[in-house]
Amino acid sequence: MSNLQSAALPEQPVSPAGLRGKLPSLSGRYLWPLLGLFCLLAINLVLTPEFFHIEFNDGRFYGSLIDVLNRSAPVALLAIGMTLVIATGGIDLSVGATMAIAGAVCANLVVSGVDSVFVLLVAGLVAGLVAGAVNGGLVSILGIQPIVATLILMVAGRGIAQLINAGQIVTFQHAGFAFLGTGDFLGLPFPVVLVLIVFAAVQLLMRKTALGLFVESVGCNAGASHYLGINARAVKMLVYCIAGLCAALAGMISAADIQGSDANNAGLWLELDAILAVVIGGASLMGGRFSLVLSLVGVLVIQCLSTTIIMSGLPPKFNLLIKALVVIFVLLLQSPRFQAQMAALFKRVKKQPGRAA
């Protein structure tokens, strides 16, 4: 077995285990994303001193922090699924379109007279599962590059949602379904609670079963994983299906929040925020190592950054530029090569006074 592994490994990027000692430690992985989040929170505190003020009224918490958590819920769900896809060395550009499809399915069912929340949830999840299975089939069975395979559904998915909505913005009134987007549970907005439930379920699945190890193995080296007896096709199919389910949940939350389905704008460009959150969390786009916790930290960094830009009063035309610059800075802090170069620079600066003497 060792001979097979050694023969396959040079064809693929070296696994994280092979780079042990060269990459930042586990504490370092958590340090930089958390430091970036802390800095953004501190800036918001300076701009608006009441930023951390939380009130409890009518059985629910209110405040800027609660708003940040609530607004980041759809992207957080997308990031959970995206983390697993990226961990296998793939990418999913279609999660925003899947959101639009799931929202359109649920909205049209409500308009057609379906009153059962359970039926609506199942229908939305089935739509997301089908979308994930299509992506997984194109990638794992047909061998199409993930960025191309998911780009197909990214384009076609919005067309499907528009066909379901007959080219219209579909609005509805359904108190039970609207609870997904506007309700609360134990004082917290229900979307936040739903994110915590999904995160806990996926985290347990990845860390308390062999599936998490299979995902990392396929991402590090699919060839060696095959010789170890791991079904890489099944693993990839599963993670794309999970991503589709997470996107469907995010789409239902968005539709329930506005009590309507807009196929053109639902989830628009949120796939890019999800990918960015996963990268900020330290995951490699080449696959392998991943952390769901850090991906959620990346989501909070993005949402806090958006809040900071709004609170600063800067003209809207600078928003995207500032966002890009801050994200680049955070990613540089996480780069092992950048850290090594900065350490070498500081070492040379320290030695200069001694040389002058």
What is the per-residue pLDDT for 10? Answer: 41
CA 192 from chain center: how many Å? Answer: 14
What is the per-residue pLDDT for 85? Answer: 93
What is the per-residue pLDDT for 353? Answer: 58
Any idea where the domains of the chain sit in the sequence? 62-336
Cβ proximity of 306 and 324 under 8 Å: no
Cβ neighbour number for residue 245 with a 10 Å cutoff: 25
What is the per-residue pLDDT for 3? Answer: 40
What is the per-residue pLDDT for 42? Answer: 85
For 62-336, CATH gives 1.10.3470
Cβ proximity of 247 and 102 under 8 Å: yes
Q: Would you call 152 helix, strand, or coil by DSSP? A: helix
Structure tokens at 27: 């504490």
Cβ proximity of 236 and 131 under 8 Å: no
Cβ neighbour number for residue 228 with a 10 Å cutoff: 14
DSSP states of 82-134: HHHHHHTT---S-HHHHHHHHHHHHHHHHHTT---HHHHHHHHHHHHHHHHHH
Kindly give the interhelix angle for 146-164 and 117-136, rounded to the nearest 10 degrees.
150
Identify the CA nearest to 94 among candidates 296, 247, 262.
247
- Give the type of residue at 158: R
What is the per-residue pLDDT for 28? Answer: 60
DSSP states of 281-343: TT--TTSS---HHHHHHHHHHHHHHHHHHHHHT--GGGHHHHHHHHHHHHHHHH-HHHHHHHH
Q: Would you call 186 helix, strand, or coil by DSSP? A: coil
The residues, ordered by sequence, that sit 6+ positions from 168 with a Cβ below 8 Å of its Cβ are none
Cβ neighbour number for residue 6 with a 10 Å cutoff: 10
Cβ proximity of 40 and 304 under 8 Å: yes
What is the per-residue pLDDT for 23? Answer: 39
Length of the chain: 357
Cβ proximity of 282 and 86 under 8 Å: no
C-alpha span between 178 and 144 (Å, rounded): 38
User: Dihedrals φ, ψ of 266, to 5°?
Assistant: -65, 120
The structure's pTM equals: 0.83
Q: Would you call 15 helix, strand, or coil by DSSP? A: coil
Structure tokens at 180: 């997904």
What is the per-residue pLDDT for 113? Answer: 84
Q: What is the mean pLDDT of each run of 10 residues along the chain (357 residues)?
A: 39 41 50 80 81 82 86 92 91 91 92 89 94 92 90 91 89 87 88 93 91 84 77 90 94 90 85 87 79 89 82 75 76 74 81 57
User: Dihedrals φ, ψ of 91, to 5°?
Assistant: -155, 150
What is the per-residue pLDDT for 27? Answer: 53
